[in-house]
Structure 1
């Protein structure tokens, strides 16, 4: 659960404090509707409700902290049972608070004096939600008490030794498979002689990395820095196995005086590592706890010795304190002899980049032919071809899902060897990898360590991706919008929240959770299996008819494949999952107004993200979706939008770009949180244009009134059709995220003084925000410019992107200074021959 959800919930509660002040006053103002006892009862209920909300506000931050701690112990049976219940209850609390926020917006938009809004609030919220809130608070208290009893109060967020056993230099496997190329490169890096004569080999340095040639690393007193070669790859790919076999090569043993193996794991403690290093040198524990004493002792032990140091399983914390921890650890090693080397194994590309002196070795999955031999060894106990032909056929079919991972082959091999019957092997073939019971050291628990080491907000973002099928191509901007809609992205100052979501995406890319491919990004299949495992109670993918019976009752996110195996009755069966927050349905539900969508909108009252393959008409029940933030319809023309659509006060994204919209409801401007609206007729969003044409000019400009979260470019054509009052309702100066404004007159108007004066008045009230970056006026018929062009702020010569040709069209107007547009970078004026006055109005 992301911290942003807690922040959002608490923010909603703070807003509700003001709301309750209004509610108490409203009760008194409507005293004629109730008897004295009824009014007192309502006032008492309001006080109780406010108290419960306050308590929930105080409780929620601790619950999110508890979720984060419990996740580190969720491999333990007793925690595993309570953990999904805790998350589900926190979701319920968040949904209730979000509903309060919706009612507050409704009252604000309809006016505090609207009796219908006040009465609806009392009936639906005060009387309807109090028991829900007390129930949720009681469940939170009970679950947190149970989890605290299991010792989660003091749990440290680090890997359990049972999950990540300590490694040593002795190989667990008798030989390596398919790593000859990597082995040769490491041996060359170590400058180990391969024949009777010793030869020094300089490693070719990749010019794109910050590296130091080995022959420049020493002087008379020692080495300037120890050469480091990282071996990087996902968990279970064979990094440690490769390093172990290198340590045990005869040439390596004879070449280095001392080989030191240290299992770092997720605790890069310089004192601990230094003590272990000293113990490796003299086979005796150090009794000192003083870092200076420890480092001097280590420096003396390695002085003038040729060392091979292996740091196995390093994580991001090795880079903490701006690399100072790493530098402190390496400092005593500078007394070692020239030719000393270090190998580092890590799952983290950031670690490899931070410590390397030569280009890292990246381990991928084993090639198919080699992998098959290894898989046979795991499944049959032998690489022999004299195995059951039917089992071999099934084994070859299982193989692709393991993606060349040696640990995945061991995991499945152990399961298969338990029962050498075709029925058992077929059951494993037909199961998803994440559904199979695994030991704590198998492939998915091993990969889960990558997930556990993520910050809490990135955990929520990545685990949500389990809703998408394997090989799904992600687009950063689209996924970031959905993360924002789900409440996974934490606001930060005035930064555009979608941009923060995009930075989250990039963080996951740098940590190798997403891989760049042609046309987007994908998640490695094994990491996808891991994501499905950690979110198995929250996310579900429906691929065929039989899977509808396996959907968890309290599931929060569902993806429906475009399969022909199921029909509308199957889609209707989803209505029992009342807590659903996300529904992405690629299955088309017909060309007419769909009863499926109508039922969904009636039942899925908590949904935040809804994406449908095809709809021609949104049902009236769409207004029930108080929590909806993201709505996407892939096909449907023309699309009819009902008046109840205006109740979607939380809507941020409306993406119907393949649909032509018949009309917009009159209260469309109530969607004050709308940030992106794309349709065949209209579109306003970052990197796009909201273009308003003549046919719907007055209506749509009026509808812009409350859309102050509007972001990107706005183009209004046929401005001459607007009256001053209609133009004023657009409220452009309140849209602080507006990037570019284009105002276009038809160019065919009479040049009468009345028309010219009207144009000046209309342009005056179309004043843009002071943060505007680009402005274009085209065919403006006025003879002068409005007051907001007057300037005391900016010299035109300082504007970086001004078109001088366009500015020349002002002729005698002194525009060397612009008005309140302090952030303007581009100004273009064309087709405006009437401007002749030097005065501003």
Structure 2
């Protein structure tokens, strides 16, 4: 079973094994502090803690599965009351383990079995501190799950309840279809229905609309498929119903078949329904082969229109084999037959459709107003109460042109035509209004219920953002990772997995792309707020501070001049907060203490974002869970406190507009840091480190950035002095995989390039080195591989003492545009040299030939070029535009 966070929890327990072993060892090493009885008691407490966490590890996967099932029955009052309690208990368990894992990292980075300080902190805070509540959490989880089991949650099928998703038929509920005349005509045109009603079944040749125009899993070469796509409640089914009953459609097709699919794509059930719809008779057998033969006979040599209403991703199961199996009896229908499917999912549309999908959008304003008046007043006349009409027009924007939303609000308004009632509806958020199971938000909630658990967590979190918020994909995906919503998938970078989650939600219409960013439809946002009303909250004005849910986990604070220090400090009572997104500037001196208080009281914070900060307080070291820190505005941070280096879980520090003067000396303890952004200094662990042009500032940041991982590029080295180059301490950055050093030919060199290059010696674990525009004549001493001393491979020794670097991992060297370079004595697996016309010597060169064809028995690679070739035994060298090399030594070679 693949469940969000569960993998992280289990791996965390496994990692803790080492910590438990360390704790028991520490107890033994410090036994002189206690008597034998106390020593044994400590050992027992550590073992009990280990046992308790193991029980949590065994329990939690089932708890997440129970949450998933409970959300499918959250329309039931009893389940709806217990669901927040279950979530709260599970989140508490997750927070508990996450804090424990922080101690695992602390011990690995700071302590060992002989050290008293880490153990005493571990003992005080963990064994005798809040971790003695492990059993309380387990007991609460058992109690809540037991109550839900009594309600039958264990037996909940993974299908929509019929009360939530009533079966549709071909008969429309509304006699008229408002504002869809153009869409109706367009769809009938796509189905090949003639514009003129003939009264008889017309015959026509198979046209372009009959052919498959995409590579899908559908029945290619058989019935063409037109998908109708749109969000829930927009009118897809209504449009399909009116098409089904249109006289021109009935005249054109011999047979019209209607099937309500929903989320259960059962081939036998759907085949039986197709038989009933086509013949009016029930299938007499349950044998698949038999009923498929019956269906084939019913549709054989007929021009049919088959409408599959409400198709979900379940139709794609078994790699599309179920869909192909359902379509197989339709192979012998007449040319001109068509299939129409309605779906909320563009994933379904792209996979099944053979024609371009037809998207149903919301109604235009004027038409929508007429429809809304009909729903709210019972008529669309102009004789309605003018004051109520004015209120109705102010309500209209929140419905976003959705016919089902108009029906929902119209029903609520029509219950009472008093101004007070209408104003109350006007002031309320849509998600706060009580709705029937077939109203707009329950209808949209079906889309949420159908999501796998990991996507539910990701989308429901978005309720913490206001409506019309422009989401940037990369930023949101980073936050999802920080929140723990993304499951690791083998060696795939976890951010790539998070982006895949985002793309899945886009394909299911939860996000819509607008001018390079993404937005959530207002009605979908209302639905998100409905399903996460206990977890997410947005503070818009001062009155909202009193409305914050007791166990809120994610909080957005919009900017307002009315918010003062006391308002913001009142949030300290919400100690379970995991997210604070504060758009209010904390720069002003009256608010300077807010951040310090939050860091002191709100220890569970994983994601913190603010507009402006005057400084980062020392108390930030308390945030053991913190993974994502963002300062979006332009600030000048003179220093980052040393306590910042205790944020062992920190993954992303984004302060792109901020000038950070220096990083603390223990900054390399942030071993999980994948992204760092400040003005002129951007680090991406999955990519590269990009530097600006102000070397002094950048060197102050680089010298303590030893956890750098990936590809490092240093440009404009001509402007770098020897002293500054030494401060970078490049040899300490042992995780560098690829290093690029580039000088600028068009800028005069201000320093001795050889001296600068000499102090830029990289770590011995380096795998790839690229030199560009180096103006020197020779390479530094550390570059040469000699036997001047017997140092262990991979250790850098002092050149002044006659020892040199041994690059045991270096396999790739690329040298380009180094005009003055005159000699190179290297022995590598791969060497690329370009545009170095004065090069006259290459060590260990074995052969040079101008012949076009060469046969070798001792060499790994042959590289052909218009100039000359050099081959080294068991190695490869590629030379381009190297014309002065004329040394041939000691080679056994056949030249044909």
The question of a shared fold, defined as TM-score above 0.5 by the shorter chain, is answered with yes
Q: Which moved more, 1:94-103 or 1:562-571?
A: 562-571
Question: Could you say which residue in structure 1 is the equivalent of 2:678?
Answer: 679
Distance 1:613 1:750, change over 3 A: closer
Tell me, what secondary structure is at the counterpart of 2:545? helix
Q: Is the 8 A contact 2:764 2:807 kept in 1?
A: no
Question: Could you say which residue in structure 2 is the equivalent of 1:135?
Answer: 136
Q: Which moved more, 1:448-457 or 1:262-271?
A: 448-457
Aligned pair partner of 1:813 in 810, 815, 824: 824
Q: Which moved more, 1:655-664 or 1:543-552?
A: 655-664
Question: Could you say which residue in structure 2 is the equivalent of 1:187?
Answer: 188
Unaligned runs of 5+ in 2: 786-804, 846-896
Aligned pair partner of 1:838 in 839, 843, 847: 843
Q: Does 1:459 align with 2:464?
A: no
Please state how far the C-alpha of 1:76 moved relative to its aligned partner: 1.3
Tell me, what secondary structure is at the counterpart of 2:447? helix
Offset from partner CA, 1:569-615 (integer Å, 9 cap, x none):
21111111100000000011233371111111111100000001111
1:218-617 → structure 2 map (5 Å cutoff): 224-592=221-589, 594-617=592-615
Q: Which moved more, 1:69-78 or 1:409-418?
A: 69-78
Distance 1:382 1:741, change over 3 A: same
1:672-711 → structure 2 map (5 Å cutoff): 672-685=671-684, 689-691=689-691, 695=696, 700-705=701-706, 707=707, 710-711=709-710
Question: Could you say which residue in structure 1 is the equivalent of 2:127?
Answer: 126
Q: Is the 8 A contact 2:260 2:310 kept in 1?
A: yes
Distance 1:698 1:633, change over 3 A: closer
1:610-625 → structure 2 map (5 Å cutoff): 610-625=608-623
Question: Could you say which residue in structure 1 is the equivalent of 2:885?
Answer: none
Question: Could you say which residue in structure 1 is the equivalent of 2:867?
Answer: none
Q: Which has the higher contact order (CA 8 A, sep 6+)?
A: 1
Q: Which moved more, 1:389-398 or 1:197-206?
A: 197-206
Structure 2 distance, partners of 1:5, 1:525, is 29
Q: Is the 8 A contact 2:206 2:335 kept in 1?
A: no
Question: Could you say which residue in structure 2 is the equivalent of 1:57?
Answer: 57
Please state how far the C-alpha of 1:119 moved relative to its aligned partner: 0.7
TM (norm. structure 1) is: 0.89
Q: Is the 8 A contact 1:402 1:409 kept in 2?
A: yes
1:68-79 → structure 2 map (5 Å cutoff): 68-79=68-79
Structure 1 distance, partners of 2:172, 2:725, is 82
Structure 1 distance, partners of 2:40, 2:811, is 60
Q: How many residues are paired up?
A: 808
Please state how far the C-alpha of 1:194 moved relative to its aligned partner: 4.0
Q: Which moved more, 1:197-206 or 1:595-604?
A: 197-206
Distance 1:615 1:763, change over 3 A: closer
Offset from partner CA, 1:437-456 (integer Å, 9 cap, x none):
11111111111111122221
Offset from partner CA, 1:535-569 (integer Å, 9 cap, x none):
11111111111111111011000111112232222
Q: Does 1:626 align with 2:624?
A: yes
1:632-651 → structure 2 map (5 Å cutoff): 632-635=630-633, 636-651=635-650
Offset from partner CA, 1:684-727 (integer Å, 9 cap, x none):
1256635396546776555233x25x456453854833798983
Distance 1:725 1:224, change over 3 A: closer
Distance 1:729 1:137, change over 3 A: farther
Tell me, what secondary structure is at the counterpart of 1:641? coil
Structure label with greater radius of gyration: 2
Distance 1:147 1:837, change over 3 A: same
Tell me, what secondary structure is at the counterpart of 2:129? helix
Structure 1 distance, partners of 2:48, 2:840, is 65
Distance 1:291 1:789, change over 3 A: farther
Offset from partner CA, 1:706-758 (integer Å, 9 cap, x none):
x25x45645385483379898366233x245xx6644769955568xxx76x9
Q: Does 1:210 align with 2:214?
A: yes
Structure 1 distance, partners of 2:456, 2:378, is 38
Tell me, what secondary structure is at the counterpart of 1:264? strand
Distance 1:137 1:282, change over 3 A: same
Tell me, what secondary structure is at the counterpart of 2:660? coil
Structure 1 distance, partners of 2:244, 2:817, is 72
Offset from partner CA, 1:298-346 (integer Å, 9 cap, x none):
1112122222211110111212222222221111112223332221111
Structure 2 distance, partners of 1:407, 1:487, is 35
Q: Which moved more, 1:639-648 or 1:471-480?
A: 639-648
Root-mean-square deviation (Å): 3.2
Unaligned runs of 5+ in 1: 218-222, 797-801
Tell me, what secondary structure is at the counterpart of 2:423? helix
Tell me, what secondary structure is at the counterpart of 1:601? helix
Distance 1:499 1:450, change over 3 A: same
Distance 1:29 1:171, change over 3 A: same
Distance 1:424 1:129, change over 3 A: same
1:33-182 → structure 2 map (5 Å cutoff): 33-112=33-112, 113-182=114-183
Distance 1:254 1:691, change over 3 A: closer
TM (norm. structure 2) is: 0.84
Distance 1:678 1:792, change over 3 A: closer
Q: Is the 8 A contact 1:698 1:721 kept in 2?
A: no
Structure 2 distance, partners of 1:39, 1:608, is 36
Q: Is the 8 A contact 1:394 1:425 kept in 2?
A: yes
Question: Could you say which residue in structure 2 is the equivalent of 1:660?
Answer: 659
Q: Which moved more, 1:163-172 or 1:55-64?
A: 55-64
Tell me, what secondary structure is at the counterpart of 2:405? helix
Distance 1:609 1:254, change over 3 A: same
Question: Could you say which residue in structure 2 is the equivalent of 1:799?
Answer: none
